[in-house]
Structure 1
Amino acid sequence: MTTPPAPPATRRWWVLLVLCLSVLLVSVDNTIVNVALPTIGRELAATTSDLQWVVDGYTLAFAALLLLGGALGDRYGRRRLLETGLVLFAATSALAALADSTGELIAARVAMGVAAAAVYPATLALLVTTFTDRRERATAIGVWSAVTGLSVAIGPVTGGFLLEHFSWGSVFLVNLPLAAVAVAAGRLLLTESADPRPRRFDLVGAGLSVAAIGLLVVTTIEAPGNGWGSAATVAGYLGAAVALAGFVGWELRRPEPMLDVRLFTDPRVSVGSGAIALAFFSLFGFIFLITQYFQAVRGYDTLTAGLATLPFAVVIGAVSPLAILAMRALGTKLVVAAGLLTMAAGFAVAAGSSLESDYWGRIVTAMVLMAAGLGLVTSPATEAVMGALRSEQAGAGSAVNDTVREVGGTLGVAVVGSVMSTVYGPSVVDALTGAGAPAPVAEGAADSVFAGLAVAGQLPDGAAVAVQQAFLDGVSAGSWVAAAASAAGAVVALAFLPAQHRVPDPDPDPARGPAPAPAAVIR
């Protein structure tokens, strides 16, 4: 099985539509559940830790298995793996909707993440093998990146609408018809592709990559509860470092590695991937907080809270394709760095919010800056990474791009959420005990802002405002962390990212077919 010739022009763009629907389906589930967290918390008696695992159980499995998913697609066929992943995603979504305990829901979310890890790298790999012309491919990646970014806002809007009319399980059941459409359309339009020289499956490399990413993410999620300096946290990070070192050493020695780690000596890959990771670290951490802010501080219902994120969707949908034009005119370095700095400015604006801040003032301004910055980062950085790969190895290479995105986002939820809790917890306990709440009750309110508001409802006027202020202080601290991460990424991009997204290659010669992709070190 080899990489097929590019399909006709009209069909290529229909193929892109199918790929975008597939990536939208699994990307939306990163955020659609956020707006349902308060409802899930009430109906399933979930703690803040439980709710964090409802979010991170999905992204943990998603991130840990992406490299394996990309390698399996290269070996056994990307369309085949995409279809299998979509079917499994629909089945596990149904299980999540039927869950009647937090344990069952978290388990179903983990299973959904496994399925998503098969879908996501296949979409970008099939895009690369479909669009062989450099300029067309850059445009297609811009559209693909826009859809990925749009999912950040589409998730809360869709979730809010569904929760307004149906139970919380509807945020998962909506996946079933969309997956069916994606599978049917894929059968009609997608052409199978795989590595023309399939190699032996790298079981050890796959196991070490899963262990390294899994330990890193789990340790970060659990660190706030265990303590950042606790034995469990230190042991977890050491285990992740050992597994990562083992993976690198093993892949360097193998004649046919799952992923040639020498690829990261190319700054297009290493710095481009780092920019994507930091952008999504900052964004996902902030989204985890802002969806709670809209309901707990501003008092929005679920639908209004979702609609409040629409400016984000509009801006990123407009900016992402334009970022490719800016990249061609100015080069990757300047566009990616400008995007990260714009995101940092947005988080800084959000950090200055008060209880009196107007939605159409500071809040929308912050979201517009974040969305514009994300749009400037993702398309050029993704094209920089994919420009270093051979098309027949696009699955494993796209999995690198996708893995840093998901790991960055998962760590963002864990770290930014932890910073918020560190500020909110002591402050809300002091405020509620000062208002007359018994110490054990006040300490229970530290679990979440919604628990705090429930306690404040039994106390004199002013207690609820104190809880909201404590939460907003935590949001401010988390926003400054996101701003710092984005700004650091901008400095690194300016220092090390090549000015151009790739070495220019000649236009295809019609007599000889498409020009070969540039040499790459991923095998």
Structure 2
Amino acid sequence: MDAPTTGHPQRWKILGVLVVSLLVVVLDNTILNVAMKTIADPKAGLGASQSQLEWAINSYTLVFAGLLFTFGVLGDRIGRKRMLVTGLVVFGIASLASAYAQDPGQLIAARALMGFGGAAIMPATLSIISNVFDPRERAKAIGVWAGSVGLAVAIGPVVGGALLEHFWWGSVFLINVPIIVVGVIAVLLLVPESKDPKPGKIDVFGVLLSIAGLTLFVYGIITGGDSGDWAQLEVWGTIAAGVLILAGFVLYERRIDHPALDVKLFRDPRFSAAVAAVGLAFFAAMGVMFFGAFYLQMVRGYSPLETGLLFLPFAGAQLIFAPQSAGLVKKFGAKAVCAVGMALVAVALSAFVFIIDENTPIWVLCTVFFIQGAGMANVIPPTTEAVMASLPREKAGVGSAVNNTIRQVGGALGVAVLGSLLSQVYRDQMASHLVAFPENVRHVASESIAATYAVAAKIGPAGNALIPAGNESFVHAMHWVAAGAASVALLGALAVLRWLPGRPVTPVQVAEPELVDVS
């Protein structure tokens, strides 16, 4: 006879509340993808450059990733419910600031504040799941948690497109507020407080090192891609400084007794292979989502709402397959499921290289998105479960922080590296089409496809030839980026095959869930 469950009596209702809390974080980033063209418009938006658009994404992600260590540990110490409510409130305030930003600089700063709030929300949701669910049900719950990401990915672009067709660009951030209000009320009513009975110290210096290292590293990559000159000191110097600081961060974390990131965890093959797969998968996915929005809106001429609808196959596949992944892992093992998932992602990205161009039938593109989404749905839940199963419940915040940090850093680097590659190749391809124009026009028109369209509109009939040239150059650059992303996904599949255990791992049973109800 099976032992009685040690989960919370209202665990499935609590999971629903956590899904709502998670939706607000993922929803905002997917909405932003379809809003980038509008934000880049000098009249309808803020006139943001491609570099500023990348920083609107990366300012959020870098703050998010840098603070996840601290907020994961802090949630274990002072209470995960408290951290979740705090994060939701801060996220709501930052959403208002983003909506009413007057220039790209203000938007980037407000997005950084949103990253602060998101860093408190994300690890709290996953660590609360680990605490309120019996280990035997945890994989299924995490599958639902991951599937909700697919739901947010599905809703975000559609909602964003609809808002942009009827309201100003700031409405894509303002939509967060009612969701946050509902989320806070539900958390206060249903979610129990929980914490680690033996919390450790907070590694303030380690967190500062990680923030500094990540910021310098990604800033150097974005600057190199934006300027096209990788030899300048500002580019290679900041990249080198970032690498050195991150190396110092790892060495420091190995020597202290209260690390923000316990690097000894990576000695466990299950743990290290799982986080590597998560990071590589999001590196590839976020880079593709970044250029995909521009491809659909600029090259193919779809509206923001239509673009959102065309992303539905990617999101729908995650929503369908993510909750099923736990059963597949039980039957075939995490290694097989994750490897197939990464391989599907690589196949979808390869399709961008070989069959997606300016005239590809849209049903083909939707099929490719669906395959990529199905692959992601079979990577994230089993790898997340592998990470969480490696740690006891009282350290759930640490496990959640590591998992989400690697995911966010992978996504940030994907946007930075692949976005820079896109800019570099696009600039090189456009050079031959701009030789007859003045230097100032050449510089602006080659910055991005959005800039090319803007210049073509300003100079009248003389700019008509720039539109097909811009489309052709963008598709060529997209092929290079997709090839790079596919290579990364394939590398992730090889890492899974090499290090992830081949059989399902039975989680350690815990007699009672560590729940401290302070309500």
- Name the TM-score, length of structure 2 as normaliser: 0.92
How many angstroms does 1:153 deviate by? 3.7
How many angstroms does 1:85 deviate by? 0.6
Residues 213/193 of structure 1: CA separation in 2 closer, same or farther (3 Å cut):
farther
Tell me the residue number matched to 1:158.
159
> Is the 2:87–2:118 Cα contact (8 Å) retained in structure 1?
yes
Tell me the residue number matched to 1:280.
282
Q: For structure 1, which segment, 111-120 or 252-261, has the greater mean C-alpha deviation from structure 2 after superposition?
A: 252-261
- Secondary structure, aligned partner of 1:32: helix
Tell me the residue number matched to 1:414.
416
Task: Give per-residue Cα distances to partners, 1:57-95, cap 9 Å, x unaligned.
Answer: 111211221111111111111110110010010011101
Q: Out of 90, 95, 115, which is 1:93 matched to?
A: 95
Matched, 1:185 2:168: no
How many angstroms does 1:467 deviate by? 1.2
Which structure 2 segments of 5+ residues have no match? 1-5, 515-519
> Distance in 2 between the 1:370 and 1:318 partners?
13
Tell me the residue number matched to 1:456.
456
> Distance in 2 between the 1:503 and 1:330 partners?
14
Counterpart residue type for residue 447 of structure 1: E
- Secondary structure, aligned partner of 1:31: helix
> Distance in 1 between the 2:213 and 2:135 partners?
36
> Is the 1:159–1:303 Cα contact (8 Å) retained in structure 2?
yes
Tell me the residue number matched to 2:40.
41
Tell me the residue number matched to 1:205.
206
> Distance in 1 between the 2:118 and 2:512 partners?
34
> Distance in 1 between the 2:200 and 2:350 partners?
48
Matched, 1:167 2:168: yes
Counterpart residue type for residue 477 of structure 1: W
Counterpart residue type for residue 372 of structure 1: A
**What does residue range 260-271 of structure 1 map to in structure 2 within 5 Å?**
260-271=262-273
> Is the 2:389–2:507 Cα contact (8 Å) retained in structure 1?
no
How many angstroms does 1:229 deviate by? 4.2
TM-align CA RMSD: 1.9
Q: For structure 1, which segment, 351-360 or 279-288, has the greater mean C-alpha deviation from structure 2 after superposition?
A: 351-360
- Secondary structure, aligned partner of 1:167: coil
Counterpart residue type for residue 30 of structure 1: N
Counterpart residue type for residue 189 of structure 2: L
How many angstroms does 1:217 deviate by? 2.9
Tell me the residue number matched to 2:505.
502
> Distance in 1 between the 2:184 and 2:222 partners?
34
Tell me the residue number matched to 1:319.
321
Tell me the residue number matched to 2:478.
475
Tell me the residue number matched to 1:519.
none
Q: For structure 1, which segment, 52-61 or 196-205, has the greater mean C-alpha deviation from structure 2 after superposition?
A: 196-205
Tell me the residue number matched to 2:54.
52
Tell me the residue number matched to 2:441.
441
- Secondary structure, aligned partner of 2:379: helix
**What does residue range 65-104 of structure 1 map to in structure 2 within 5 Å?**
65-104=67-106
Residues 230/89 of structure 1: CA separation in 2 closer, same or farther (3 Å cut):
same
> Distance in 2 between the 1:475 and 1:422 partners?
11
Counterpart residue type for residue 55 of structure 1: I
Tell me the residue number matched to 1:493.
496
- Name the TM-score, length of structure 1 as normaliser: 0.92
Residues 495/402 of structure 1: CA separation in 2 closer, same or farther (3 Å cut):
same
Tell me the residue number matched to 1:520.
none
> Distance in 2 between the 1:65 and 1:258 partners?
10
> Is the 2:131–2:513 Cα contact (8 Å) retained in structure 1?
no
Q: For structure 1, which segment, 415-424 or 494-503, has the greater mean C-alpha deviation from structure 2 after superposition?
A: 494-503
> Is the 1:428–1:452 Cα contact (8 Å) retained in structure 2?
no
Tell me the residue number matched to 1:333.
335
How many angstroms does 1:514 deviate by? 6.6
Q: Out of 378, 382, 397, which is 1:395 matched to?
A: 397
> Distance in 2 between the 1:165 and 1:73 partners?
40
How many angstroms does 1:320 deviate by? 0.7
How many angstroms does 1:427 deviate by? 1.6
Tell me the residue number matched to 2:346.
344
Q: For structure 1, which segment, 487-496 or 198-207, has the greater mean C-alpha deviation from structure 2 after superposition?
A: 198-207
How many angstroms does 1:462 deviate by? 4.4
> Is the 2:314–2:373 Cα contact (8 Å) retained in structure 1?
yes
> Distance in 2 between the 1:230 and 1:323 partners?
47
> Is the 1:64–1:214 Cα contact (8 Å) retained in structure 2?
no
How many angstroms does 1:492 deviate by? 1.3
How many angstroms does 1:150 deviate by? 3.5
> Distance in 2 between the 1:222 and 1:193 partners?
43
> Distance in 2 between the 1:456 and 1:289 partners?
21
> Is the 1:34–1:55 Cα contact (8 Å) retained in structure 2?
no
Which structure 1 segments of 5+ residues have no match? 516-523
Q: Out of 418, 427, 430, which is 1:428 matched to?
A: 430
> Distance in 2 between the 1:222 and 1:66 partners?
25
How many angstroms does 1:112 deviate by? 0.7
Residues 504/106 of structure 1: CA separation in 2 closer, same or farther (3 Å cut):
closer
**What does residue range 207-226 of structure 1 map to in structure 2 within 5 Å?**
207-225=208-226
